[in-house]
Structure 1
Amino acid sequence: MLPSPQVLAKQLPEHALAKINIDYQTFTLSNGLTTIVHTDRSVPNIYVGVWYKVGSKNEPEGKTGFAHLFEHLMFQSTIHRDGEYFVPFNKAGAVAMNGTTNLDRTNYYQTVPSNAIDLALWMESDRMGYLGRSITQELLDEQRAVVQNEKRQGQLRPGSQIYEHFLKTFYPKGHPYDHTTIGSMEDLNNASLDDVKQWFNDAYGATNAVLVLSGDIDVATAKEKVAHYFSDVPAGKPMDKITQWIPELSHNKQEIVYDKVANISLSRVWALPNSSAKDTVLMNLVADTLAGGKNTPLYDVLVDEKQLATEVWANVDANDVSSTFSLDVTLKPNVDPEEVNRIIAQTLQTFFKKGPKTEQLEAINLGAEVSLLRSMESNQDVGAQLITGLVHHNDPLFVNKQRQWIGSADSDDVRTVAKKWLDKPYYEIRMLPEPTTQVAEASVDRSKMPQVGKFNGKITMPPIHQMVLDNGMKVVVAERHNLPLVDVSMQFDTGSLADKFYAPGTAEQAFSMLTMGTDEYNMNELSKKLDSLAVTIHGTAGKQRSGVNWSSLASNLDDAFALAAEVIRHPSYPQVELDKVISNIDSSYDNYELEPLRSARDVYGKAIWGGNHPFGHIVTRTEAKQINRDTIKRFHEHELAPNNATLYLVGDITLPQATKLANKYFGNWDKRTPSVLPEITAAQGQVGKVILVDAPGAVQSSISVGHTVAAFEQDKAAIQTLMDSALGRGFNSRLNMNLREDKGWAYGFSGRVNNTPTGPRVFTASGTVQTDKTAAAMSEIKREISEFIGQRPQTEAELARDKSSIVHSIPQGFTNNDAYLQSMINSDYYQQPYTRVEGAAERLADATLTQTRDLAKATYKPDELTWVIVGDLSKVEAEVRALKLGPVEVWDVYGNKLR
């Protein structure tokens, strides 16, 4: 009988195992270069390796592939040396010369005869210190082409693009690992000589590098020679980095991709902690004992027993920011992937309960020890082990921690860590063979587009009935019996305009805190009750109207009404929840002050309406802190009243049913006397002025421009919509097409008149533009508005285009109860019939070009525009002032004039 691995391990000579503890010393030059030295005189050679702590994870957006590009550039000539890097080393008898790049680092190495150590150090220090000055446009173009051909060659292999797809979909956008090391063709094409040189100067200095010398050299000699060759190397900049970001999945994510492959393959991936964690090391034992070949459960059942797969393997990819555990299966032809998935799930559950066999772990440990022991024969292996430990774990002998964790792990340890990381949602990508297809002979006339058929879209509001309860609450019901669902909204004629009688923010908190607890239920209890019925309730405050919305299955409507009545009539407004709101006020205002671009809307409101107007007042930090529970309760007591409310219902319900529910839960709600909301008075703002707010360092400027316009007229609503659409409301509008599509200065720019039922309104055009185009964009905006009412008015083609788009899209918006509900609420708000939307298409179709042009002339006032620009004033102020669009003032984020 053969001895067990455990017995074999005990039989290894003690002096042999002891050699695994490698002797080394480190030292650091004043420029930040760290050097590791391991002395071994048994062979007259020295392994020289340089690890740069620079990988694809350090590449900013738009510069992917830079680290790998430099892996190639580093082997080219410098100002001190012509020709390829390898030639002098080949002459000296060096071996194993290469460089590699991965997500976390870039490394370069060679093993040289002892007598060539000066050559190696001169060469490494020369490219570390001087390559940046040596890169020419010709050299960049040459190596860029090499890298791109490497990328193309890699894409020839079937299934090669699955890894790039995995990185993009597994890692959140912005994660350091969300792109491939080789980068994108676009970014490589866009890499300028200046970009590349700057990247080198920042990244490849001594402070980001670690040097290892392993072999026939002592520490004293190493210190002398390293100082001689590397002391003048620039330090560079320490690389900013994310140290840990483990992707989290709340549920399994599954994808299917197609490629030129013969068989279906499944790949499951789970996120792990970063590579310095003990769990990641132990997960290697999970990989080896779960699917590491013969006599592992997944291999045995899928390959040998059921013969469903040709290959099964598991792997741990250990990285600095986060690691992964992957399970890959290549299926035999005609095998059902779902059957394989069921077996994987069953096998995993068994593994979580039983773990691997002890003899498997002993064999793995013994094999690792012997493999490590054999590596001690190579100066290259020893040097690579030391420098890898230091770069990735800040411990040159990290291997000893790994040995201790692996050597002491038993079956329970392995099954426990497996369950911890694998018994959770995973990412699965399934690669399928491309289907065999055949294109038929064309019979389509491609010479012209087909005409759109006759439009038959029509909106018909469901039957609507209403009544009024004795306490004054109006009940409005729209019957839609297609599904057993009911959507409900209780609207109150109150809002933030009533804050003047209480405190700033009172209305907002009074409605948003309704579901934070009631007289009968605390917040958690209420949440559970709502979840048990699949009911959602939320309150929202507007300026003049506010509402509480809920929805429910028709069968649960009574219970939903009971909870909604409890929320609306008996909120407890717990002090502990309000305290959370108050405690966040300072940080909210701190962030507001630190990010001036957030002030654009508030400052614009003050500029248009004036600081004393309710629409223009910017609430200060001190005012925001005036909110208190007594004020909120008083608002609730006075403003939320049945005689101030309308209950709207849409869905599988009738008026008698709705009346019964309304009476049952709101009928005994006593009338009250709510506050009379103040009228919307005329604006008192800064007509014709340019207001600047400084946002130092901003790469874009926020532009808000406009003026007040006359009160809303229902008969002109359709005409106004078409007028707005041509100038700024639609994607194809003049403002957007100019600044986004033609100039490329903005992601989007829009303009429209904001409607309210009563009082003056505001025309506003707004968006953000790149900083260096701020003044030019302002000129374009002013020109577009001026020409729209002057020499280049709206055209018949624009009118026809927008009519067609809007009319044809209206029915698409009425697909659910909520659409009908909001239409009813909006019509009522504007004191129009509930069915007004039914005639929208006709009103739009009837609008004429003369009407839209006349309304435009009466609406837009290019000489009365008020501008608010939030941007980096050091870069934009002079040019903006030079436009002479009006008196210029500089305000702070609260609308206080600074100069």
Structure 2
Amino acid sequence: MRFAKTLTAVAVATVLLGGCQATANTSKAAAAQQQTVQQNLPDVSIPYETFKLDNGLTVVVHTDRKAPIVAVNVWYGVGSKDESEGQTGFAHLFEHLMFNGTENYDDEYFGPFERAGATDQNGTTNSDRTNYFQNVPTPALDMALWMESDRMGHLLGAVTQEKLDEQRGVVQNEKRQGESQPYGRVFGFLAEQTFPEGHPYSWSVIGSMEDLNAASLDDVHQWFNDYYGTANAVVVLAGDIDVETAKEKMNHFFGHIDAGKPLQKMKSWIAKRDGEKRASMEDNVPVPRIYKLWNTAEMGTEDGEYLSLLTDILAGGKNSRLYQRLVYDEQIASSVSGFQYARQLAGQFFVIADAKPGVDLRDIEAIIDEEMARLIAEGPTQEELNRVRFSSVAGFVRGVERIGGFGGKSDVLAAGQVYHNDPGYYEKTMAILKGATPEKIRQAAERWLSDGAFVLDVNPQPRYTTIEAQADRSGVPPVGDLPTLDLPELSSFTLSNGLEVHLATRSDVPTVQMNLVFDSGYASDVDAKIGTASFAMSMLREGTPSRPALELSRELETIGTNLFTSASLDTSNIRMDSLTTNLDQSLDIMADLIQNAAFDQEEIERKRGIWLETIKKEKASPQSQAFRILPSIMFPEDHPYNAPFTGSGTEASINSLERADLVNYRDTWLRPDIARLVVVGDTTEAELKPLLEKYLASWEAPASAAPEKVFAGVTAPTQPRVFLIDQPGTPQSTIIAGQFAPSGKADNAEVVDVMNTIIGGSFTSRLNMNLREDKGWSYGARSVWFDAEAQGLLLALAPVQTDKTAESIQEILKEFNGYIGDEPATAEELEKVKSNKTARLPGAYETKGALLGAVVDMLEKEKDMAWLESFGQRVNAMELDTIQATAQDVLTPNALTWVIVGDLSQIEEKVRELNLGEVTKLDADGNVL
């Protein structure tokens, strides 16, 4: 287990003295420094109780009553490491099969959960475990436990050859989709090359195509019988639940299920390497990249934690040594990163860097080696250790605000139990972090990273018994009455400079989040150089005269504050997440950025180089490439939305940017009179307003009139159009079908949202059920409604296997035409969406970030908290004929604009034979060929 980054840090002076006396004093200073660190790292407590059913099922319970929701997190101690050569990919394939119905509920498993308003629902597989998790409203807990126990104890009768074939195809498309991305084949290759033959980590989690094709129904049934017994599972219940209730319910639903057979499990196989090994591979990638890695200590060891801290120091963010050398000073790399890949049998230490054009990877490797050698010889500084340690613990603290999902409390407890037989193992990790010293980290680096680079236990099983089945398996238990949504009150006030402020007080954890929203965004680039808004907002984070870029980044890390500046289509944003104790200092920094951004020329040039590399990477990714080109096809040249939806601009526009352009953007668009500050967190108006006045009163609007975005009218196409973009050799085609739709401010916006959810906006929507579940041609297909301010778009998106491109287009058309024709939305479909959108409300605003985003959107629509709280009532009031009429009014399947990215040598002829409309071939920049 590794804590993520960020937490409050205490500035500690480093005293450098000379002579014998200096050694003693320095030692005392270091000891005092370490004690200060230990005193200031927060104590994180996740109270829990553990019990075991008579059949061996381990249950962990954490009570958290802040919201009427329960996280149900089921972990099985089986992953790809439990496979054998020739049968790879079974663990992941079975994860998919577990969502396809059981003997008592032979249907898609997402259905009841969607109706119940489940959130954070998913299933994942890694090398060491498989998990299934979801958050459900408290009244839906019986339903969730019935469903999870049904697939744990009543699955095999529903796993048919047809389902196996279907999900095999879905997994293979997932594999194709992953491998078609830039660098998508790398980690499978690294696994083969860095572990010896037969090592459980020498194959990828997703497995090989050959093994997936060879998997028989008997093989799959045997896999379930071998690994999915109760003695190999852990269920964590976190949230609105207590132990006594949990015992009754777990016995009721799970007590009759068999324990499964005794298992033999390997404990450790590190496979530390000697000497250096090199390999090279070619792929469809935008820039050269180097991976340098070492086989290291396994998960749960002190060395594993020390090495994780070391990766942050070496290559984790702007203040890391390699970022400063490679990206900032030498400017020979556009990105650099590193991580300690912690797994049960072994770990791996990765360093990854992307070269800038014309740079030899050996030059980058030489600097990696220099900095690694320096760390092995001297160790990190105390300041570096303090910084990454605080950052790591802060991320952990923020994660456990949630009861479910990745990094939430149930996830932490489940990982501790499965990986270490201790739900509270996170406390041991915290103790290791607190006890870490620069010398301990240096010694760990010397043990594991001095050599072996790639430049890629038996205990008898207790006798378990079962009880007579108690749960009624004739149907899924109904969900009880849902609680009424009760959100914090929103107080509003105006600062002396005219800035509008809205505050929702929530004090569950001591943090404050805020978003300063400007009415600008990409759309303000009209008559300017496209990409200006995004580039200028990004430059705000690159320092002020009193806070150069690296010092700014270091200061934010030291106080555990996250601060992001960005632009979207219609708005520009400054978002900040601060610990309450450091809000004063955090506001000081934010105000400095708003008013005094340096726009230093050297920083501009450094960012320009990285920015151009980002555009190159966007063009190499099929979906982002399509989103770059689609706006120029849909919108007239003078429309503010006629620019890449990525916001990055073009090479020409970014190359032409001058410092004056960025200053002009700041002075024109970042004004308090066209801004709104929304705050959610552990503060009150009485506390917050004086702080805001202290730091923002001097930020005043210019005397000139506030700028406005001018939106030209659009004319919807009356005929279909097809645009083809060639990506030779790609195993998938990316299909996008677009049309105009209402804006997010339309009176019927919520109806449009529900209408879209049925056709393509959920897992069980028509498009996904067709192309993924029925046909097995795609890993996932969907439709997205971009509810932009001036003009909305509705897009169908489907990455599909190359040989099914034309057929997939026909299926998309069939679904759209049927939806407005002889197969309109049904009462059952509408009821499912209503159930999902209303039942998920109790948990929808569990985190401050979720509430903040909802309030920002609400205020953009000129609504209040009562409107937000009454959302469920409005959805439940929707009638079927309204949904059907809206579909007929909005959807135009006979005038769609198609953008298809793929290997044209394989797909062009068949696409043309469809006779959809005029076909135009475009290059990577959208120019007509």
TM-score range, shorter chain: 0.5 to 0.7
Quote the offset at 1:681 in angstroms. Answer: 2.7
Change (3 A) 1:591 1:834: same
In structure 1, give the amino acid aligned to 2:197: T
Write the distance in 1 (CA, Å) between the matches of 2:834 and 2:519.
34
In structure 1, give the amino acid aligned to 2:867: R
Q: Determine the structure 2 residue equivalent to 1:651.
A: 681
1:696 alignment partner, SS class = coil
Length, aligned pairs only: 545
Q: Determine the structure 1 residue equivalent to 2:495.
A: 469
Q: Determine the structure 1 residue equivalent to 2:909.
A: 878
Quote the offset at 1:465 in angstroms. Answer: 1.1
In structure 1, give the amino acid aligned to 2:534: E
Q: Determine the structure 2 residue equivalent to 1:323.
A: none
Q: Determine the structure 2 residue equivalent to 1:577.
A: 603
Contact 2:296 2:346 in 1 (8 A): no
Write the distance in 2 (CA, Å) between the matches of 1:589 and 1:710.
30
Write the distance in 2 (CA, Å) between the matches of 1:550 and 1:694.
41
Contact 1:739 1:748 in 2 (8 A): yes
Contact 2:566 2:572 in 1 (8 A): yes
Q: Determine the structure 2 residue equivalent to 1:838.
A: 869
Write the distance in 1 (CA, Å) between the matches of 2:566 and 2:451.
35
Quote the offset at 1:595 in angstroms. Answer: 5.7
TM-score normalised per structure 1: 0.55
Contact 2:719 2:894 in 1 (8 A): no
Quote the offset at 1:600 in angstroms. Answer: 1.1
Q: Determine the structure 1 residue equivalent to 2:839.
A: 808
Write the distance in 2 (CA, Å) between the matches of 1:461 and 1:425.
56
1:176 alignment partner, SS class = helix
1:589-600, aligned counterparts within 5 Å?
A: 589-591=615-617, 598-600=624-626
Q: Determine the structure 1 residue equivalent to 2:926.
A: 895
State the identity %.
Answer: 25
1:604 alignment partner, SS class = helix
Change (3 A) 1:592 1:542: closer
Quote the offset at 1:449 in angstroms. Answer: 2.9
Quote the offset at 1:625 in angstroms. Answer: 0.9
2:720 alignment partner, SS class = coil
Q: Determine the structure 2 residue equivalent to 1:214.
A: none
Write the distance in 1 (CA, Å) between the matches of 2:891 and 2:349.
59
Write the distance in 2 (CA, Å) between the matches of 1:553 and 1:418.
32
Q: Determine the structure 1 residue equivalent to 2:549.
A: 523
Q: Determine the structure 2 residue equivalent to 1:407.
A: none
1:346-495, aligned counterparts within 5 Å?
A: 420-422=446-448, 433=459, 436-495=462-521
Quote the offset at 1:888 in angstroms. Answer: 1.2
Residue 665 of structure 2 corresponds to residue 635 of structure 1? yes
**Any idea what the Cα deviations from partners look like across 1:106-134, whole Å, max 9, x if unmatched?**
xxxxxxxxxxxxxxxxxxxxxxxxxxxxx
Write the distance in 2 (CA, Å) between the matches of 1:473 and 1:693.
46
TM-score normalised per structure 2: 0.53
Residue 584 of structure 2 corresponds to residue 558 of structure 1? yes
Deviates more, 1:509-518 or 1:451-460: 451-460
Residue 736 of structure 2 corresponds to residue 704 of structure 1? yes
Q: Determine the structure 2 residue equivalent to 1:25.
A: none
Write the distance in 1 (CA, Å) between the matches of 2:758 and 2:533.
37
Quote the offset at 1:484 in angstroms. Answer: 2.6
Quote the offset at 1:271 in angstroms. Answer: 5.9
In structure 2, give the amino acid aligned to 1:708: F
Quote the offset at 1:783 in angstroms. Answer: 0.6
**Any idea what the Cα deviations from partners look like across 1:65-123, whole Å, max 9, x if unmatched?**
599xxxxxxxxxxxxxxxxxxxxxxxxxxxxxxxxxxxxxxxxxxxxxxxxxxxxxxxx
Write the distance in 2 (CA, Å) between the matches of 1:782 and 1:421.
60
Write the distance in 2 (CA, Å) between the matches of 1:574 and 1:877.
48
Corresponding residue to 1:661 among 664, 669, 691: 691
Corresponding residue to 2:758 among 726, 743, 749: 726
2:653 alignment partner, SS class = helix
Write the distance in 1 (CA, Å) between the matches of 2:653 and 2:551.
33
1:507 alignment partner, SS class = helix
1:773-784, aligned counterparts within 5 Å?
A: 773-784=804-815
Corresponding residue to 1:753 among 781, 785, 788: 785
Quote the offset at 1:793 in angstroms. Answer: 0.9
Corresponding residue to 1:744 among 776, 800, 814: 776
Q: Which has the larger radius of gyration?
A: 1
Quote the offset at 1:863 in angstroms. Answer: 1.0
Quote the offset at 1:680 in angstroms. Answer: 5.1
1:668-687, aligned counterparts within 5 Å?
A: 668-672=698-702, 673-679=705-711, 681-683=713-715, 687=719
In structure 2, give the amino acid aligned to 1:879: K
Residue 602 of structure 2 corresponds to residue 602 of structure 1? no
Quote the offset at 1:418 in angstroms. Answer: 8.4
1:850 alignment partner, SS class = helix
Q: Determine the structure 2 residue equivalent to 1:246.
A: 293
Write the distance in 1 (CA, Å) between the matches of 2:616 and 2:854.
39
Q: Determine the structure 2 residue equivalent to 1:181.
A: 197
Write the distance in 1 (CA, Å) between the matches of 2:292 and 2:443.
19
Corresponding residue to 2:654 among 612, 617, 624: 624
Write the distance in 1 (CA, Å) between the matches of 2:475 and 2:213.
41
Deviates more, 1:806-815 or 1:454-463: 454-463
Write the distance in 1 (CA, Å) between the matches of 2:909 and 2:887.
32
Write the distance in 2 (CA, Å) between the matches of 1:725 and 1:444.
37
Q: Determine the structure 1 residue equivalent to 2:896.
A: 865
**Any idea what the Cα deviations from partners look like across 1:617-662, whole Å, max 9, x if unmatched?**
4544222211122211121122111212212211222222222112
Q: Determine the structure 2 residue equivalent to 1:766.
A: 797
Write the distance in 1 (CA, Å) between the matches of 2:511 and 2:585.
14
Write the distance in 1 (CA, Å) between the matches of 2:842 and 2:482.
10
Write the distance in 2 (CA, Å) between the matches of 1:270 and 1:189.
26
Contact 1:465 1:655 in 2 (8 A): yes
**Any idea what the Cα deviations from partners look like across 1:811-842, whole Å, max 9, x if unmatched?**
22211222221111101111222442201111
* Larger relative contact order (Cα-Cα within 8 Å, sequence gap ≥ 6): 2
Quote the offset at 1:781 in angstroms. Answer: 0.4
Change (3 A) 1:244 1:782: closer
Write the distance in 2 (CA, Å) between the matches of 1:844 and 1:634.
44
Contact 2:678 2:852 in 1 (8 A): yes
Change (3 A) 1:685 1:629: farther
**Any idea what the Cα deviations from partners look like across 1:741-762, whole Å, max 9, x if unmatched?**
11111110101322124x3311
Corresponding residue to 1:798 among 829, 838, 845: 829
Change (3 A) 1:680 1:549: farther
Change (3 A) 1:187 1:632: closer
2:678 alignment partner, SS class = strand
Change (3 A) 1:718 1:179: farther
Write the distance in 1 (CA, Å) between the matches of 2:581 and 2:928.
59
Q: Determine the structure 2 residue equivalent to 1:717.
A: 749
Write the distance in 2 (CA, Å) between the matches of 1:807 and 1:862.
30
2:724 alignment partner, SS class = strand
**Any idea what the Cα deviations from partners look like across 1:321-370, whole Å, max 9, x if unmatched?**
xxxxxxxxxxxxx9xx99xx99xx9xxx9xx99xxxxxxxxxxxxxxxxx
Runs (5+) with no aligned partner, structure 1: 1-61, 68-170, 193-237, 256-265, 274-333, 354-415
Quote the offset at 1:771 in angstroms. Answer: 0.8
Change (3 A) 1:853 1:698: same
Write the distance in 2 (CA, Å) between the matches of 1:778 and 1:245.
42
Write the distance in 2 (CA, Å) between the matches of 1:788 and 1:707.
15
Quote the offset at 1:548 in angstroms. Answer: 0.7
Deviates more, 1:433-442 or 1:522-531: 433-442
Contact 2:543 2:549 in 1 (8 A): yes
Contact 2:743 2:749 in 1 (8 A): no
Instruction: Give the RMSD, CA atoms, in angstroms.
Output: 4.1
1:729 alignment partner, SS class = coil
Write the distance in 2 (CA, Å) between the matches of 1:722 and 1:495.
27
Contact 1:828 1:834 in 2 (8 A): no
In structure 2, give the amino acid aligned to 1:578: I
Change (3 A) 1:248 1:513: farther
Contact 2:489 2:865 in 1 (8 A): no
Write the distance in 2 (CA, Å) between the matches of 1:250 and 1:678.
59
Write the distance in 2 (CA, Å) between the matches of 1:781 and 1:713.
27
Q: Determine the structure 2 residue equivalent to 1:227.
A: none
Write the distance in 2 (CA, Å) between the matches of 1:723 and 1:661.
45
